[in-house]
Structure 1
Amino acid sequence: MEIRTERLVMTQLKVCDRDLYYGLHSDPEIIALCFDEPSSDELDAKFESCLPAWNRESGHWLCLTISILETNEKVGITGFKIKNSVAEVGYLLLPSFHGVGFGTESLKALLNWARMNCGITEFSAVVTEGNIGSERVLEKCGFTLQKIIPNAYQIGDRVYADHWYGICNT
C-alpha cells in the first residue's frame, strides 16, 4: 500500500519505523496537547498493534508513515480506525515539520484514498482543546466542529475539553 501526493509518500508502518513512532509519542512538544506520555509497555503495545497488514475489516488502526517524496525523510504518521462505518482519523508530525502543509496534504490524500479504496464516506476526529494547528488541518480538509465536550480529557494535571470534528460525503 502506498499513497502519494505532490510532496509526500505514505506507507504502512513497519518495524524499522519504531524510532519515528516512539519519538512522536514521547516528544514533549507533540504530546503537550495530545496525550500523556505512554509507558514503555503501553507504547510497545500500541506500536505492535499497528504492524499487522491492514484491510477494511481490520480492528486496528491503519498507521502510515509520512515521508518526503524527494528525500524519503520521515516526518510523521497518519491513519484511521474504522468503527461502525466511520473512520476516526489521526496524525502526528515532527515539530520541525509543523506549519509547512504536510498535515493537510497527507490527510487530504488519506481521505481520498479511503473513499476510493474502502468506500468510506464518514470520518471523525477528536482534538484536545487548544490544539489549534490540528483543528486548522481538519478544517482545511473539510471537517466541521460537531460538538465540544467540556472536561473530557486530562493531560498531566490539567483537564481539557474534547473538540469532535466530522465530515460526511455521501
Structure 2
Amino acid sequence: MTHALISTPRLTLRQMLAQDWPLFLRLNRDPEVNRFIRDIESEDILQQKFSARCFCEDFFAGDWLSLTIMYGDDAVGLMGICCIDNELLQAEVGYLIAPEYCGQGIATEALTALSQWALTQYQLHKIVGRCVDGNMASARVLTKSGFQLEGILRHNHRIGGEWLDERFYGLLAP
C-alpha cells in the first residue's frame, strides 16, 4: 500500500512521508511526549525506525502503517497500526500528538477514524491499544474511541529503569 487517506471533518490521516522526519524526530525526542511511552532513543535509532515506517509493504507481515495527522495544513501528530496476530486478525495502534495540540480531541478523532477504517480495510477482528498505568490522557483517548479496558499487566513496561503496570484496551469489530 503506497498511500492511505482517512478524513474526518477536521483531520486528514495520510501516509508518513520523508518530509515528516522533523516531526517524527521532535515527537520521539520530546521528554514530555515520551514520559509514559519509552526512554528517549538516539537520533540514529530513530532514523532507522523512521525509514522502516515510511513504507508499509505488508501489513500482515508486521509492517507498521504509519500515518501523519494533518489538522488543516499543519502536521500535528503521528499514528500507526500494525498487525500483531494474523490468525486472530488483531492489530495494535499507537499515536503521538504534538504537545501544543493535546486536549483538543485530535487523538480521539484520529484514532476513531483509523480504527473504523482498519477494521474494514483489513477485516480485523480486534484492535489493541495499550498505555502505562498513570497515562490518563491516553486512557481517555482509547475509551472515547470505543476501546474497553481488558486488563492491567503488572510490571509489563519499563521506562527509566522503573517497572510500570500496563493497561490493555481492546476494540472489537462490530
Normalising by structure 1, report the TM-score: 0.93
Residue equivalent to 1:76: 77
Which whole-Å deviations, capped at 9, do the CAs of 1:53-93 have from their partners, x for residues lacking one?
Answer: 44543421111000113xx1010011110021201011110
Q: Which amino acid aligns with 1:44?
A: Q
Q: Which amino acid aligns with 1:152?
A: N
Counterpart CA distance in 1 for 2:123 and 2:28 is 30
Structure 2 gaps, min length 5: none
Q: Which amino acid aligns with 2:63?
A: H
Structure 1 gaps, min length 5: none
The Cα of 1:128 is off from its aligned counterpart by 1.1
The Cα RMSD (Å) is 1.3
Q: Which amino acid aligns with 2:52?
A: S
Residue equivalent to 1:11: 14
Deviates more, 1:21-30 or 1:154-163: 154-163
Structure 2 residue 39 is the aligned partner of structure 1 residue 36: yes
Deviates more, 1:37-46 or 1:53-62: 53-62
- How many matched pairs? 168
Normalising by structure 2, report the TM-score: 0.91
Q: What are the within-5 Å matches in structure 2 for residues 41-52 of structure 1?
A: 41-52=44-55
Change (3 A) 1:147 1:18: same
Counterpart CA distance in 1 for 2:27 and 2:101 is 12
> Given the alignment, which residue of 72, 91, 99 partners 2:103?
99
> Given the alignment, which residue of 82, 104, 127 partners 1:123?
127
The Cα of 1:142 is off from its aligned counterpart by 1.2
Equivalent position SS for 1:29:
helix
Counterpart CA distance in 1 for 2:8 and 2:61 is 25
Counterpart CA distance in 2 for 1:103 and 1:96 is 12
Q: Which amino acid aligns with 1:124?
A: V
Counterpart CA distance in 2 for 1:141 and 1:68 is 18
